[in-house]
Amino acid sequence: MAEQETLLIEPIVEQIELKGELTGTFEQAAKKLAALQMYSVKASASGMTVVRVESRNIQKKPFLFMIFEFSKSGTTAYYSIAPDTSQAKAIDASAKTRKLSVLKNLTALLSLISDSYKIDDSELFQNIDSAIDDVLGSLQLNYAQLMSSYESLYGKYIQIKKLNISLSNSNKNLSTSATLLNTENGELKGRLEKLESYSDESLMALVDEWLDSHDGTIDVNEFANTHKITPSRVDQILDKMVSMGYIELRE
């Protein structure tokens, strides 16, 4: 069997650049961040790199991550976004939420090293404000889409409910009609049975006709089949005719 190649999806990497100023040393700043287990920190005399890996791919390579590079003149934040969100970030809130999350992590780091490193507050606030506006705008769009879907589904629900009521009424009408038909069928069956049954007088007349045409003999089963009655009914009427003296049994 041929080996199947695994298609790896590469994340999209974006960045945020901010002006900054080193007021202490990067070694001092690194010591302040060393206790944070979710970050790995590497510092030198000329800079400091802080990395947070949130998830890895099947080959154990970082997939979702944040990298904060601090230099003496500024900070650059590199962060990854899953392709399915970055390709549609104009209408998808998750990509914008990702940026806001990166800024949140950056401000948390800056708060811990504020005595060693300063950032341009105006640039930071502008980025945060822009990210918040993007997220809120996406939420409003998603809410409008949600309401549109809700109204569409509610309209279909009303139609289905009306159809259900109509079908229920139709079912009730059909049940009533079926009951009436069963009643009429029973009445017709009873009337038919009465029409198909013979009175004693009628049967005796038929027996007389049969005897006249069959030399005074009668085959009970044949007579019963001919006139659609049971043999026991034929025996009953023959016994009655004998008892009344209309016919006699031959030995």
Q: How far apart are CA 211 and CA 138, in angstroms?
A: 104
- Report the pLDDT averaged over residues 45-62: 92
Rama region for 12: left / alpha / beta (φ>0; ψ in -120 to 50; rest): beta
pLDDT for 222 beyond 50: yes
Among 69-83, 109-123, 140-154, 162-176, which stretch is predicted with the lowest mean pLDDT? 140-154
Query: How far is residue 201's CA from residue 198's CA, in Å, rounded to a whole number?
Result: 8
At 251, the pLDDT band (50, 70, 90 cuts) reads: low
Exposed, middle or buried, 174 (CB in 10 Å: 0-12/13-18/19+)?
exposed
Confidence of residue 10 (pLDDT cuts 50, 70, 90): confident
β-strand partners of 22: 117
Q: H/E element holding 208?
A: helix 200-213
The average pLDDT across 79-90 equals: 62
The per-residue pLDDT for 90 is 41
pLDDT for residue 196 = 54
Out of 7-11, 137-141, 212-216, 247-251, the most confident range is 212-216
Least confident range of 19-23, 58-62, 172-176 = 172-176
> Which of 47-51, 172-176, 202-206, 214-218 is the least confident region?
172-176
Nearest residue to 160 via CA among 147, 146, 152, 149? 152
Taking 90 as the threshold, does the pLDDT of residue 211 lie above it?
no
Does residue 145 have a pLDDT over 80?
no
Whole-model pTM over 0.75: no
Bridge partners (DSSP) listed for residue 42:
49
Please tell me the predicted confidence (pLDDT) of residue 174. 82
Q: How confident is the model at residue 86 (pLDDT cuts 50, 70, 90)?
A: very low
pLDDT at position 111 is 93
Q: Is the pLDDT of residue 227 over 90?
A: no
Residues 6+ apart with CB under 8 A from 117: 20, 21, 22, 23, 24, 29, 70, 110
Residue 75 is predicted with a pLDDT of 96
- Check whether 202 has a pLDDT greater than 90: no
DSSP string, 94-143: HHHHHHHHHHHHHHHHHHHSTTTEEE-HHHHHHHHHHHHHHHHHHHHHHH
